[in-house]
Amino acid sequence: MATGFTTQALAQSAATDPTAKAIASGQPEAIHPWQAALPRLSSEAYFTNLKDGDQIETPFVVRFGLSGGWGLAPIAKASKGKRGHHHLLVNRDLPLNFTTALPFTDQYIHFGGGQMETVLSFPPGKYTLRMLLANQQHLPYFVYSKPATITVTKKNETDPKTLTTRGISMMLPDGPIRNPFRVQFHASGLNVGLQSQDDPKSGHFALQIASTSGKGTANLDFPDGQTEVYLTPPEGGYNLTLKWVSNAAEGDASGRVAPATASIEVQ
């Protein structure tokens, strides 16, 4: 579950203030009032830019999401709880035995670094794809996507390496925004993980929601690798700023990542 900060000052006072301590520890009762409870039965891995029946040309960057309070965790360091890493199943059904580790083959593509995307380079043809989450030992969870059968119409000469640009972004609902609504985060060329792993190769998301009419500011931190949040702020205008926070105790040696911003009107 994501942690929430009522103000920046509260985040800074976590060492002495009991409420701030509860918020920093991620206790369920510490959810910020603007942060909505997660929908029931919402745990799934999913594609954010691909759906059943799509026709694409390759190379193609396919992006992944993760719901239900689950978080991404690189396998290089230990993690516990609702944490895992993505797997892309190509022309494979879900495993019959969820107590057996997933194999390493071209049909079971592992993303053990905490990645949220990959570049498909399939030749023309039909393919059935599915996302599946698994733990550090590659044992699958019952967290997966619906199958998406796609058609690759053409494979062009684009260099796949040119399709990935290091950065972060967020996705918001189309049309009028009404409560509760979901904000989805995405990291390209970056690995998402747990702050507790203290891994210089990974980071996590933080989201600031600032009212444009003086209703306050919320600073939400997601140190457990979550990649989305549901919000329910009062009606009005807001500026959203998504930030990338290094999981390394000494800071991000690989350089800063520009924040992603958006302005919305909640009706």
Residue 184: per-residue pLDDT: 98
**Which residues contact residue 137 at a Cβ distance below 8 angstroms, ignoring those fewer than 6 apart?**
101
Residue 79: per-residue pLDDT: 81
**Which residues contact residue 42 at a Cβ distance below 8 angstroms, ignoring those fewer than 6 apart?**
67, 68
Residue 57: per-residue pLDDT: 98
Q: Domains along the chain?
A: 3-39+165-266 (2.60.40.10), 45-160 (2.60.40.10)
pTM: 0.86
Residue 256: per-residue pLDDT: 85
What gap in Å lies between CA 129 and CA 111, rounded to an integer?
15
What gap in Å lies between CA 261 and CA 227, rounded to an integer?
16
What gap in Å lies between CA 216 and CA 236, rounded to an integer?
11
Residue 251: per-residue pLDDT: 61
User: Which helix (H) or strand (E) is 22 found in, with range?
Assistant: helix 18-25
Residue 81: per-residue pLDDT: 87
> Tell me: the pLDDT tens digits for 35-88?
999 988 789 999 999 999 999 999 999 999 999 999 999 998 888 889 999 999
Whether the Cβ atoms of residue 134 and residue 85 lie closer than 8 Å to each other:
yes
**pLDDT beneath 70: ranges in the chain:** 1-30, 251-255
Q: How far, in whole angstroms, is CA 257 from its chain's centroid?
A: 16
What gap in Å lies between CA 205 and CA 260, rounded to an integer?
11
**Sign of the alpha-carbon torsion through 12, 172, 261, 247:** positive
Residue 130: per-residue pLDDT: 98
Residue 12: per-residue pLDDT: 36
Q: What tokens does 132 get?
A: 């599946």
